[in-house]
Structure 1
Amino acid sequence: MTFTPRIFSGIKPSGDLHLGNYLGAIRQFVPLQDTHETIYCVVDMHAITVWQEPEDLKRRTYEIAAAYIAAGLDPKRSIIFNQSQVMEHAELSWIFNCVARMGWMARMTQFKDKAGENSENVSLGLFAYPSLMAADILLYKSTAVPVGEDQRQHLELTRDIAKKFNHDFRKQIAELGFEEDFFPITETLATGPAMRVKSLKDGSKKMSKSESTSDLATIYLLDDADAVAKKIKRATTDPEPLPSEAAGLESRPEAENLVGIYAALSNQSVDAVLAGFGGKGWGAFKPALADLAVSVLSPIANEMQRLVADRGEMDRILRDGADRARAIAAPVMADVRQIVGFIR
């Protein structure tokens, strides 16, 4: 069976958006709307696997949708919506709960990392949410997903669930008129190198939207120009000047992080950046990086603020996106109900 080239991806509204979310994900989404059908979701159902203050959840849902648009996604070309408006996500997730095996879920390293030694007290949703992630992707018969390294295991689980569903119900799928698989075996989409932004205070840790130990460690997308510049100028560095090539950044995590941010924001290679700054100190580099970051991020922050302030417009965009998403999801879900033997 030939599937429409279609991409699904989403961001969880469990913390405030930061530079890592932009460089590692959101910016990567934009060019894909030129080559694929693109569905970009705010996965608010995933967020509540751990406690969220309801008002914060609403605010962050609007902010992520606004960030998508401010970064360059066109809500007329891409489908932009929040997950909870399309309840077929939850319905298909339950069916996948009954397809997936406990052993598959137990091997998910992210659950182990998040639950830690407290696994008996975390929500069932946190344990089962990879099944919901599979439903998010397969509900639209998505052929590819742009994922980071921390999500590759979940995409493998999605592929396993699709294969098992196709195998277990192969007779019913054929009777429904499908010559081959009902669900595609979704591929990982290569979008070019995505910057893995580290904390501005500790280059060994990922920049985080929810676990920052210092207000100066994370650049948030809604930070104003002064805050962005201040955080960069106070970023932890080492006493050595910048090298002239990337190899010289080995064993210098803070230096590697700041140079990598400059390279990503300026769409250059690290070597190209160092060709201009090699031999110079942080007194020259940090102000240049601050100016660059402000020039790139301030227009995004301003547009996000404008959109978030217009709740009527944001609600219209999200409802329209949900309607268009449901137009794809509802027929798929109707077929699934028939395949598994539910009376319609």
Structure 2
Amino acid sequence: MSFVLRWPVKSKMLKVGDLVCSLCWEKNNGLERVFSGIQPTGIPHLGNYLGAIQNWVRFQEEYSSALYSIVDLHSITVPREPKVLHQSILDTTAVLLACGIDPQKCIIFQQSKVPEHVELGWILGCLTNVPRLRSFSQWKVKSAIQKSEGSVGLFTYPVLQAADILLYKSTHVPVGEDQVQHLELAQDTARLFNKKYGVFFPVPQTILNTTKKIKSLRDPMAKMSKSDAQALATVDITDSPEEIVLKFRKAVTDFTSEVTYDPSGRPGVSNLVAIHAAVTGLSPEDIVRQSVGLDTARYKGVVAEAVIQKFAPVRSEFGRLQEDQSYLKKVLQAGAEKAKELAAPVCLEIKRMVGF
């Protein structure tokens, strides 16, 4: 079970300056706002759903305000075909709606339609030093993959990410383990701005995802990824039942037939157990007890069926929405208008504070 930090609180996660920043929460009329974003770089996969999207559905009920952004500006830090990117924006929107994101309960919008993101990104970039950005592990990894130092956009996108969060005076941000470093930049930037220009931003708090990181079906030591070159490694939310069965049948395990949960000793089988537990809501221990007498070959079929059942309604609704692209565009347009209503006065006040 995950937990959420509320403003104002005293916690070991808060620094001394954050207690002062509880004043920002008071100025926000006690509003708790969660913000998160997803890149439109292909159909979200099983790991995206379990690690983020299913929590977003819950947060829109738990928080007084929730914003979910299709962060297309972030997606072009690596080359994208314009037509493919455009379709990916609509497909990602369709998937989110099919999974239960409700435009009446939250704001779902396309990042590039709200120019204040870029304006604040520039201002915050002028408060961020180069060594801090060079220290980001994702910069090092992605640069290595591209076999170069990459683009300026790839280098500075954590600053834009901080702007995405702070622009709405967000109080809570759900993150995976690989994004903690990025949220820390947003937190430190909020503190620095408040110190330099006056108390304005709440310091956004981390909501850590408690779901075990879903691994590649072909390499259980690596996380499941949209960019994996092996088609059998990743289960997309919209995969057909036949595709799901094939991918799990080909999943890498080991030479022991018993179903056990031992992530360090048996990563392949343990990844299957973690997936099975996540889609059913059971614990890994419960899954293992239920699987006594099954060998791993038969167990793969059980896991595949559980995933098929989980995503059957999502796949059906996605297909329906994909046929109605005008509706998807209307949802994004309405969301952008709502987001801009929130962002414009915040950005205007920031400009005034800075001296523009």
TM-score norm. by structure 1 comes to: 0.92
Tell me if 1:196 matches 2:219: no
Partner of 2:299: 285
2:284 aligned residue: 270
Aligned partner of 1:206 among 219, 223, 231: 223
SS at match of 1:216: helix
Aligned equivalents of 1:109 and 1:341: distance in 2? Answer: 34
Q: Deviations over 1:78-132 (max 9, x none)?
A: 1001100111001100101111112221211111111128676511011110110
Distance 1:250 1:149 in 2: 18
Is residue 2:256 matched to residue 1:257? no
* Alignment match of 1:215 (pick from 213, 231, 241): 231
Selected match of 2:83 from 51, 55, 67: 55
Q: Share of identical aligned residues, percent?
A: 40
CA distance in 1 between counterparts of 2:76 and 2:88 reads 13
**CA displacement at 1:236 relative to structure 2:** 1.7
Question: Is 2:321 the counterpart of 1:307?
Answer: yes
What amino acid maps onto 2:117 in structure 1? H
Residue 67 of structure 1: aligned partner:
95
SS of residue in 2 equivalent to 1:201: coil
CA distance in 2, matches of 1:267, 1:236: 23
Change (3 A) 1:265 1:120: closer
SS in 1 for 2:36: strand
Q: Name the stretch that deviates more: 18-27 or 281-290.
A: 281-290
Q: Which residue of 1 aligns with 2:19?
A: none
User: What runs of 5+ residues in structure 1 fail to find an aligned partner?
Assistant: 171-180
Corresponding position: 1:106 with 2:134: yes
How far is 1:305 from its partner?
2.0
For 1:111, the aligned partner's letter is W
Equivalent position of 2:46 in the other structure: 19
Matched letter for residue 53 of structure 2: I
C-alpha separation in 2, matches of 1:206 and 1:6: 29
**Residue range with higher mean Cα deviation, 90-99 or 14-23:** 14-23
Determine if contact 1:115/1:122 at 8 Å carries over to the other structure.
Answer: yes
Q: What residue identity is the alignment partner of 1:87? A: P
Deviation at 1:184, TM superposition (A): 0.9
Q: Aligned partners of 1:117 and 1:229: how far apart in 2?
A: 31
The match for 1:42 among 66, 70, 80 is 70
Quick one: which amino acid aligns to residue 198 of structure 1?
A: K
**Which one is further off, 93-102 or 274-283?**
274-283
Match of 1:176 in 2: none
The DSSP-based 3-state class of the residue aligned with 1:240 is coil
Q: Structure 2 length as normaliser, TM-score?
A: 0.89
Does structure 2 retain, via aligned residues, the 8 Å contact 1:25–1:194?
Answer: no
The equivalent of 2:258 in structure 1 is: 242
Q: Which residue of 2 aligns with 1:5?
A: 32
Q: Number of paired residues? A: 328
Once residues 214 and 249 of structure 1 are traced to their aligned partners in structure 2, the CA distance between those partners, rounded to angstroms, is: 22
Match of 1:30 in 2: 57
Unaligned runs of 5+ in 2: 1-22
**1:324 — aligned with what?**
338
Which residue among 226, 234, 247 is the counterpart of 1:231? 247
For residues 125-176 of structure 1, the C-alpha deviation after alignment (integer angstroms, 9 at most, x for no partner) is: 1111011000000000000100000000000000111111111112xxxxxx
Offset at 1:66? 1.3
Q: Superposition pairs for residues 164-183 of structure 1, below 5 Å? A: 164-170=192-198, 181-183=199-201
CA distance in 2, matches of 1:265, 1:107: 35
Kindly provide the amino acid, as one letter, of the partner of residue 218 in structure 1. Answer: T
3-state SS, counterpart of residue 175 of structure 2: coil
Other structure's SS at 2:233 match: coil
1:266/1:64 Cα in 2 relative to 1: closer, same or farther (>3 Å)?
Answer: same
Aligned equivalents of 2:221, 2:315: Cα separation in 1 = 27
1: CA distance, partners of 2:205 / 2:136 = 19
In structure 2, the residue corresponding to 1:31 is in which secondary structure?
helix
SS in 1 for 2:73: helix
**CA distance in structure 1 between the partners assigned to 2:266 and 2:147 by the alignment:** 35
Runs of at least 4 residues off by over 4 Å = 117-121
Structural RMSD (CA): 1.5
Q: Partners in 2 of 1:183 and 1:249 — Cα distance?
A: 40
Q: Which residue of 1 aligns with 2:165?
A: 137
Q: Is 1:187 aligned to 2:214, yes or no?
A: no
